[in-house]
Structure 1
Amino acid sequence: MEEISQSRRTPALIEKLVVLWEKSVEVSHLFLSTEEISEIKKYVPQALNDVKSSF
């Protein structure tokens, strides 16, 4: 697994990660409605950008 620093996180990468997040949530969080997932999704790009390095 490769760590991608904040400075290398492009909008295209963030969008791919958001798609992955959404698909994962849809199959693993069955208690959330489509509307709730859409609402949470608004915050995911910023959250992904804000993740600090863990190494």
Structure 2
Amino acid sequence: MSKSCKGLAMELVKCLSESDCVKVEKRSVRECAGEKSPCIPSECVGLRETYFNCKRGQ
């Protein structure tokens, strides 16, 4: 992974780790990252989009 996207990836993992998708539903960060669930905060959704765009641009 490029260094330019690594910071975004770490922020996304942290955000998702603190979401209800992981804490309440006991799902993995990977499972939650790939979904459009209402229990994922909009901040995490924005980070996910930014991260995917970063990866796509390389």
TM-score range, shorter chain: 0.3 to 0.5
Per chain length, whose mean CA-contact separation is higher, i.e. which structure has more relative contact order (CA < 8 Å, sep 6+)? 1
Q: What TM-score, normalized by structure 1, do the two folds share?
A: 0.40
Q: What TM-score, normalized by structure 2, do the two folds share?
A: 0.38
- Structure showing greater radius of gyration is 1
